[in-house]
Chains A and B, each alone.
Chain A
Amino acid sequence: GENVEQHPSTLSVQEGDSAVIKCTYSDSASNYFPWYKQELGKRPQLIIDIRSNVGEKKDQRIAVTLNKTAKHFSLHITETQPEDSAVYFCAAKMSLDDMRFGAGTRLTVKP
C-alpha cells in the first residue's frame, strides 16, 4: 500500500543546535502534510503543516519544506531546547482520504 517513510528513527542534538527530520511519501496525489509532536504518554499535537501548493512554511523556530517532485518533506527545528525532546511524526494525506503516518523520530535535546 501507500507508505510514508521517516528518518532518522532517533536523533540526539545539543541544545541550541538544529534538528532535521525527513519523510518521503509514495502517493503523488498526496496534498496535505502535517507534523505532530508527541510527548511521553500524551496525545500527538500538531506543530506545523503544509499543503501541496506551498514549498515552505515557517513558524518561529519550526519550518517545513516540501519537494513535490521528489515526494519528500522535512521538518527543521532551529535553536533546539530541552523541551523540544519528544517523538515527532510526519504524515501525508493519501488520495483516498486516509492519513498515513511515518514511524516517528525520537528527538533528544541534551542541555
Chain B
Amino acid sequence: DSGVTQTPKHLITATGQRVTLRCSPRSGDLSVYWYQQSLDQGLQFLIQYYNGEERAKGNILERFSAQQFPDLHSELNLSSLELGDSALYFCASSEGSTETQYFGPGTRLLVL
C-alpha cells in the first residue's frame, strides 16, 4: 500500500457524460500527478499540481480538467466522454516536485 488513495475503484458511464475521479495523496506530500493508461499501453502524463497550483501539463485534453484543494486532495474531471477515454487513471503523489512518485491503485473507467 503506497498511502495514495483513489476513488472510485471502478466507474462505468456512457458517452457524453461527465465524471470526477478523486485522489488523496500520502500524508505530507504536496505534489499530485494524474496519468492515463489505456489497455496494454504506457503511462501518459496528464497534469501535475503542487500545493494547490498547476505545475506541469502533459497530454491532457481540453475536455479534461483537474484541481488540487487546500487539503491537498485532487480531482480529475472528465467531460463529454468518448469511448476512447476508457482507461485506467492513476494518481501519484510526491513530497515535492522532484522526489519519487508513489502511485495510487487507479480508477478503471469504462465508457459505453
Contact = CB atoms under 8 A, between A and B. Distances in A.
Interface stretch (B14-22, B77-85, B96-104): B96-104
Interface in A56-110: 89, 91, 93, 96-104
Contacts of A89: 42-43
Interface residues of B, number: 23
B43 A34 contact: no
Given A98-B57, A99-B33, A101-B42, A43 B90 contact: yes
B100 A46 contact: yes
19 contacts: A34-B100, A36-B103, A42-B105, A43-B2, A43-B90, A43-B103, A43-B105, A43-B106, A44-B103, A45-B103, A49-B100, A89-B43, A96-B56, A97-B48, A97-B98, A98-B48, A98-B56, A99-B33, A101-B43
